[in-house]
Every structure is written in structure tokens, then in C-alpha cells.
Structure 1
Amino acid sequence: MERRTIGAGALAVGAVGLGCMPMSWGYSTSRQHGEKSLRAVHRALDLGSTLLDTADMYGPFTNELLLGRVLKERRRDAFVSTKVGLLVGDQHIVANGRPGYVRRACDASLRRLGTDVIDLYQLHRADPEVPVEETWGAMAELVRAGKVRALGLCAVGARSARRPGARLHDATVRQLERVQQVFPVSAVEAELSVWSPEALETLLPWCEQRGVGFLAAMPLGNGFLTGTLTPGVGFEADDLRARHPRFTAEMMAANQPIVVGLRRVARRHGAHVTPAQVALAWVLSRGRQVIPVPGAKRERWVVENAAAADLRLTDRDLAEIGGLPAAQGSWD
């Protein structure tokens, strides 16, 4: 698989990463199966999808523990990205950016992952009660201590606060400018897909200009862009899509033209090419520093996603995708 770099070219990873969250958090609990997920991670590494993206809050904690079982055998094959800054309570998810907490959380993640260094440590969400420079300074200390290799910042999940994507990214850029004065930012993780392209406006250009890697979260639109979900499909209560405005039966029907367009492009490349692969190839085409991180918990989807790294979209393909209707249904 093609390799791409994170942070001034110092760290190389496979062009398509693996989002591990669905293996233990955020999606239907009844469809989670630890052993199958372990096989999926091993398969991803075999195929060159070396970036494994997790967070301490996924589970909470169980996602890192699961990856630790793989890393025990294959640490040298993997690039581990985990996150700090969010706590899962009984009713709410809250931010915690206090320096003492960051240091303790890092040590706990290292233990769960069974490793002595985290390749990329990301601030999951800035704590409104703590200056972001203080949080980032504590994270920088972890790099100097040899516990972390590089730092990143997320703009993922903040739509739960019902803020429009463009304004969210403007706010993220302001945060990035502040923390960049404390310690270099190596990567930014934010949503980017055919149906959520807002990061192209300000966030991705900021990364391009500074040689910062861009991890494209949710590049398959939480599964919608795969073309495997039909309007009216039921989601379990613990599935984040059960509360997502774009996953109502009405909005899924309204957004079907996007999938139809992706499927039309896929057919031009052969019967074996899927809408999901076209969607990932589009994300890959947004820049050399862009690394899509599709979530998956089964070998089948890991194999399909990895193959997207070899799909080259034509100018006609890109123009057609660019002309698809904007997605309906938002957090706003």
C-alpha cells in the first residue's frame, strides 16, 4: 500500500488507516465481537493499513485493551493513535484537559495498549475550563519524556454541541494557531467525506500550508456512503446513528442520489469496485497528507477499504462527484 506522512514527513503510515471505535463503542453492541475484530486488525496490518486509531473513551477503555492484544504480537507493524480529553459518564461525555489528568491518562493508555510509546497522541476535545495551551503543554511534556512521538488535535464529535461544521472548523483553526505556539502539531483529525466536505474550506488548507497530516474521520459517512444501508433501516438504541439527523428514513431517502452517483462512478472502474471504495478514493485525492480512517470491525470491510488505496479516479470521476447534490439533514 502507498505510504503517506504525518507531521513534516517524519512519520509514515499506510494511505488508508483503520478506525477501531466500532469494535467496542458507538455502534450496535449486539454486532460487536472481539475475536472477529482482532482478526480484522491483523488483516489490516497485513494489507498495510498500519494506522490504528482509537481513544481511551471508546468503551470506555475496552478499545485500547483490544488493540493491546494485537500489539503484543505486532507492535512493530502498527502506528498507534489514541486520544485523551474526554470522560464518559452515566449520562454525559465531559472534557477534562487538566495537566495532571492528561499525564495519568497517558500512563493508563500505555498500560492498556501494552506499549512503551504512543505514536500519535491526540487531544480529543479542548476543555473549556482549562486554557488549551496548558493541556497541550502537558502533552508536549509526554513527548519530551519519550512516552509519545507526536501530537494531534481532533475536531471530531463536536457537532454534538449542534454547531455547524464550517464554524466548528474555524474554531479549530484558532485552537491550532494557539497550540502551535507551544509545541508542533503533527496531525489534525476531522470529519471529511463526500457528504461532509466542510473541512476543505479552512481546516485542510491550514494543514497543507504547514505540512500537518490530516486524518479524515468518518470518510464513509458512518456507513451511508457504502450503499449497504437502505432508508428505514433500524438502528439499536446504543447506535449513534439512531440519533443522527441524516439517518432518519426521510433523510436517508433524500440522500440516496449521492450513493447512486458513487455507484455510477464505481461501475466505470469494474464490477468489483464499490461505492465505498470510490468514496475513500475521493478522500485520498484531496491531498497527499490526507489519510482516511474508515471504521470497521470485520475483515471483509477492512479488505475492501484497503483496496481503495489502489483506485485512481479520473478527472471525469472527480467532476461527477463534485457535482453530486449536497447532503440533506444536519446537526444545525
Structure 2
Amino acid sequence: MERRSLGAAALAVGAVGLGCMPMSWAYAASQQRGDHALRAVQAALDAGVQLIDTADMYGPFTNELLVGRALKGRRAEAFVSTKCGLLVVDQHIVANGRPGYVRRACDASLRRLQTDVIDLYQLHRADPEVPVEETWGAMAELVAAGKVRALGLCAIGARAPRRPGARMHDGTIRQLERMQQVFPVSAVQAELSVWSPQALESLLPWCAARGVGFLAAMPLGNGYLTGTLTPGQGFEPDDLRARHPRFTAEMMAANQPVVVGLRRVAERHGATPAQVALAWALRQGPQVVPVPGTKQERWAVENAGAAGLELTARDLTEIDRLPPARESWD
């Protein structure tokens, strides 16, 4: 698999990563089986995937434990990315960016992951009660201590500001510029997909201009762009899609033209809609590494295969003309 470089640390990883969140968090618990997840991680490594993305919040904690088990005996083949800064308290998610907490969280993640070093340590979300410089400075100390190799920011969940003319990621960029004054940012993780291309407006250009890696989160639209979900299908109550505005029966039907367009391109290449969606993300820049999430061995292997799919100019034009995702509030 092609390798891509992340940030000032020039850390090389396979062009397609593996998001581990669905293995123990946010999706239907009835479909989460540890043995399947272990096989998915092993199959991804066999297919050339290196970046394995998790977080202490997922579970909480169970996701890192699972990744630690999956990488036992194969740690040298993987590039481990995890996150700190969010806690689950009484079923609510709260931010904690206090330096002392960050240090303790890192040590706990190292134990759960059964490793001596975290390749990429990401701030999951900035704590509004703590200056981001303080949090980032504590994370930089972890690099100096040899516990972490590089630092990143997770910007998933950014929403368009209310000011006229403002872009979705303007606030994230201001935050990143403050962080850069303390210690280099090696990677930014944010949503980027065929139906959610907003990062192309300003965030991805900011990263490209500074040599910062970009981890494309949700590149398959929470599974919708795979073409395996049907409008009107139900989701279990603990599945995040049961409450997501794009996954109402009405919106799933309205967004079908996106899947139809991806399938049309896929048929020309003998590929799948998911592989086309990932190949599109890869074409957005040499620093882009899509991180599709899955808990199934089959999909992990299929996703890795997208690294070898070469889209034509015609393909890209067709995809760029597809409508963006409609939301229930549109």
C-alpha cells in the first residue's frame, strides 16, 4: 500500500487507516463482538493498513483494550493513534484539558494499549475552561518524555458558525494557530467525504500549506456511502444513526442520488461504492489519510483495497457534481 507522511514529524503511514470506534462504541451493541473486531484489525494489517485509530472515550476504555489485544505480537506493524480530553460522566460527554489529567490519561492509554509509545496522540476536544496552550503544552511534555511521537487535534463535530460569511472550520483554524505556537501539530482529524466536503473550504488548505497531515474521519458517511443501507431501515436505539438527521427515512431516500452516482463510477472500475468514496478522499491531497471505521474483517479488507483504485478525470468530475448530503433541517 502507498505510504503517506503526517506532519512535521514526517511519520509515514499506509494511505488508508482503520477507525476502531464501531467495534465498541456508538453503533448497535448487539453487533459488537470482540472476536470479529480482533479479526478486522488483523486483516487490515495484513492488507497494508498501519494507522489504527482509537480513543480512551470509546467504551469508555474498552476500545483501547481491544486494540491492545489485537496488536499483541504485531505492534511494530501498526501506527497507533489515540485521543484524550473527553470523559463520559453520567452518560454525558465532558471535556477535560487539565494538564494533570492529560498526563494520567496518557499513562492509562499506554497500559490499555500494551505499548511503550503512542504514535499519534490527539486532543479529542479542547476544554473551554482551560487555555488550549496549557493542554497542548502538557501533551508536548509527553513527546519530550518519549511516551508520544507526535500530536494531533480531532476537529470532528465542528459546526458552521452563525456569522454571515464565516466558514465551518474558522474556529478550529484559530485554535490550531494558537497550538502551533506551543508545539507542532502533526495531524488534524475532521470529517471529509463525498457528501460532507466542507473541510475543503479552509481546513484542508490550511493543513496542506503547513505540511500537516489530515485524517479524513467518516469518509463513508457512517456507512451510508457504502450502498449497503436502505432508506427506511431501522437502527437500534443505541446506534448513533437512530438520532442522526441524515438517517431519517426521508433523508436517506433524498440522499440516494449520491450512492447511485458512486455506484455508477464503481461499476466502471469493478469496485464498490465504498472504495470509490475512499479513493475520492485520497485524491484530495497527498497528506490525506481516510480512516474508515468498521468492525468486520470483510469491510476492513475492502476499504484497504481503495488505496489501489485510480479514479479518472471523468470519475472525479461526476463525483464532484453529486449533491451534498441533505439534512432534516434543510
**TM-score (normalizing by structure 1):** 0.96
Measured in 2, the distance between the counterparts of 1:318 and 1:8 equals: 30
Q: Which residue of 2 aligns with 1:322?
A: 320
Measured in 1, the distance between the counterparts of 2:49 and 2:4 equals: 11
Tell me how far 1:224 sits from its aligned partner: 0.3
In the alignment, is residue 18 of structure 1 matched against residue 18 of structure 2? yes
Q: Which residue of 2 aligns with 1:285?
A: 283
Q: Which residue of 2 aligns with 1:253?
A: 253
Measured in 2, the distance between the counterparts of 1:61 and 1:163 equals: 32
Measured in 2, the distance between the counterparts of 1:138 and 1:130 equals: 12
Measured in 2, the distance between the counterparts of 1:78 and 1:26 equals: 24
In the alignment, is residue 308 of structure 1 matched against residue 302 of structure 2? no
Query: Could you say what the CA RMSD is over the residues aligned between the two structures, in angstroms?
Result: 1.4
Tell me how far 1:72 sits from its aligned partner: 2.1
Tell me how far 1:26 sits from its aligned partner: 0.6
Count of residues in correspondence between the two structures = 327
Tell me how far 1:43 sits from its aligned partner: 0.7
Letter in 1 for 2:306: A
Query: Which of 272, 275, 284 in structure 2 is aligned with 1:274?
Result: 272
Measured in 1, the distance between the counterparts of 2:177 and 2:328 equals: 28
Give the SS at the match of 2:52. Answer: strand
Correspondences of 1:1-332 after superposition (within 5 Å): 1-8=1-8, 10-159=10-159, 167-270=167-270, 273-329=271-327
Measured in 2, the distance between the counterparts of 1:43 and 1:90 equals: 35
Letter in 1 for 2:146: G
Contact 2:158 2:169 in 1 (8 A): no
Measured in 2, the distance between the counterparts of 1:284 and 1:315 equals: 14
Measured in 2, the distance between the counterparts of 1:232 and 1:211 equals: 42
Give the SS at the match of 1:72. Answer: coil
Residues 136 and 28 of structure 1: CA distance in aligned 2, closer, same or farther (over 3 Å): same
Q: Could you report, residue by residue, the CA deviation over 1:19-38 in whole angstroms, capped at 9, with x for unpaired residues?
A: 00000001000000001110
Q: Which runs of 5+ in 1 are unaligned?
A: none
Letter in 1 for 2:325: A
Letter in 2 for 1:74: R
Contact 1:215 1:290 in 2 (8 A): yes
Measured in 2, the distance between the counterparts of 1:313 and 1:128 equals: 42
Letter in 2 for 1:2: E
Contact 1:20 1:53 in 2 (8 A): yes
Q: Could you report, residue by residue, the CA deviation over 1:259-283 in whole angstroms, capped at 9, with x for unpaired residues?
A: 000001111112xx10000000000
**TM-score (normalizing by structure 2):** 0.97
Measured in 1, the distance between the counterparts of 2:90 and 2:232 equals: 29
Give the SS at the match of 1:73. Answer: coil
| Paired-residue identity, % | 81
Measured in 2, the distance between the counterparts of 1:149 and 1:69 equals: 21
Tell me how far 1:106 sits from its aligned partner: 0.4
Residues 26 and 163 of structure 1: CA distance in aligned 2, closer, same or farther (over 3 Å): farther
Letter in 1 for 2:323: P
Q: Which moved more, 1:68-77 or 1:300-309?
A: 68-77
